[in-house]
Amino acid sequence: MIYMRLKYLINIFIILVLFVFFNSCENYRRERVSINIEKIKLDNDLRINKIIFINNDLGFLCGGNKNNNGYIYKTTDGGNSWQLKYRCDSLSIRNVYYVNDSLIFACGDSMLLVNSFNTGESWQVYKFANFPYEAYKVPYNALYAKDSKKIILAGGENFEKGLLSKTETGNYPWIHDSYDNQFNSLHFVNEYVGIICGYGIVLITEDGGNSYSFVDLGADDFVDVEFVNGEIYILGSSGIIYKSSDLGYNWIREINLMSKGYIDLSIGDEFKIAVGLGGIAFLKYNNDLNWMEISNMPEQDYYTSFIREDNVVFIGSDKGEIIVLNRGRGR
């Protein structure tokens, strides 16, 4: 009898613990934060695909509408005003990568690659010496460049077509490797170690892109990879964030934000932010346990976010509008 009663009490205790645990996991989802928002409207309704800041004053953004038009803008006053520096009437721009003031790259639809040698004031179309198979002339979604010679690009479309392109000479030969998975994002820790993610695929290279090993993180559309303070973060469109503290050898599931449609993750000194479709925006201060939903975000699709050095956040929408979150904290 005592054994049965003890077993009963233990079962009740386990149920209560599980209830509290799962309830607490849901509570972060219900916790909300309101932040001061400023809106900056560009001079057209392009989809903003990428925003980056080099410092608190100098920044770039790119975007456009697929196979229709593309734009690159520049700011020198911290994002208060943006000047159009490049326009393409047929292909959108999906990413921009700053090497130094004398070398900036941007990539986009149909293997479009453009570069600037004067801090983004003017841009030229890069002429590839050799191409992959015609069926794999897909959009480039992300790039890395050590300098003008070593360049790596990743892209794809329709989920099942992926392309990795690499040169170490500045042009010829380009090595174009096709995959059955679309690539969305890449980040190189240094010129040798890099991680690339996409639809159901995560790859790591330790030799500068000469070879890759697969990372098994399950089936998800992995949309963004970031590297900050020795830690790699990967965001899935499902809202799962994975983290590795040993350059990708071991991974933990840091959080499941429990909704779908995430596109981009940014990590700053004070907080992290994840954004996506339908106005999704979640924030986590580094000293807090939980992620919080930003309650007063306009209901737009968000494709990019960037936390500047001064912890001001810039978020790009599909309406040619930039949402600026200041560092004031409110509940």
pLDDT digits (tens, 9 = 90+) for 20-51: 444 444 334 458 888 999 999 999 999 999 99
Instruction: Looking at the structure, tell me whether residues 7 and 126 fall in a common domain.
Output: no
Q: Is 242 within the bounds of a domain?
A: yes
Which is more confident, 21 or 317?
A: 317
Mean pLDDT rounded to a whole number for the chain = 91
**Where does residue 111 fall: left (phi above 0), alpha (psi -120 to 50 degrees), or beta otherwise?**
left
How do residues 90-125 score in pLDDT, each as one tens digit?
Answer: 999 999 999 999 999 999 999 999 999 999 999 999
Instruction: Looking at the structure, tell me whether residues 22 and 147 fall in a common domain.
Output: no
Quote the pLDDT of residue 16: 44
Q: Is 320 within the bounds of a domain?
A: yes
Q: Is 331 within the bounds of a domain?
A: no
How do residues 175-225 score in pLDDT, each as one tens digit?
Answer: 999 999 999 999 999 999 999 999 999 999 999 999 999 999 999 999 999
Q: Is 15 within the bounds of a domain?
A: yes
How do residues 62-84 score in pLDDT, each as one tens digit?
Answer: 999 999 999 999 999 999 999 99
Cβ atoms within 10 A of the Cβ of 234, count?
26
How far the first Cα of the chain sits from its last, in Å, is 52
In this model, does residue 57 exceed pLDDT 70? yes
Cα separations (Å) of 11 from 8, 19, 22? Answer: 5, 12, 17
Instruction: Looking at the structure, tell me whether residues 177 and 319 fall in a common domain.
Output: yes
Number of domains in the chain: 2
Which is more confident, 258 or 200?
A: 200
Q: What is the per-residue burial (b if ≥16 Cβ within 10 Å, else e) of 256-283?
A: ebebebbbbbbbbeebbbbbbbebbbbb
Instruction: Looking at the structure, tell me whether residues 25 and 57 fall in a common domain.
Output: no
Instruction: Looking at the structure, tell me whether residues 26 and 55 fall in a common domain.
Output: no
The dihedral over CA atoms of 231, 234, 235, 236, expressed in degrees to the nearest 10, equals -150
Instruction: Looking at the structure, tell me whether residues 126 and 154 fall in a common domain.
Output: yes
Instruction: Looking at the structure, tell me whether residues 8 and 98 fall in a common domain.
Output: no
In this model, does residue 308 exceed pLDDT 70? yes
Instruction: Looking at the structure, tell me whether residues 26 and 108 fall in a common domain.
Output: no
Quote the pLDDT of residue 258: 87
Instruction: Looking at the structure, tell me whether residues 103 and 54 fall in a common domain.
Output: yes
Instruction: Looking at the structure, tell me whether residues 19 and 90 fall in a common domain.
Output: no
Q: Is 330 within the bounds of a domain?
A: no
Mention every residue, 6+ apart, whose C-beta is less than 8 A from residue 19. none
Which is more confident, 26 or 289?
A: 289
Q: Is 230 within the bounds of a domain?
A: yes
Q: Which domain holds residue 316?
A: 35-325
pTM of the model: 0.89
Instruction: Looking at the structure, tell me whether residues 96 and 16 fall in a common domain.
Output: no
CA-CA distance, 156 to 179, in Å (whole number)?
Answer: 9
Q: Is 235 within the bounds of a domain?
A: yes
In this model, does residue 331 exceed pLDDT 90? no
CATH of the domain at 124: 2.130.10.10
Closest CA to 195 of 238, 218, 220, 164: 164
Instruction: Looking at the structure, tell me whether residues 95 and 219 fall in a common domain.
Output: yes
Quote the pLDDT of residue 287: 86
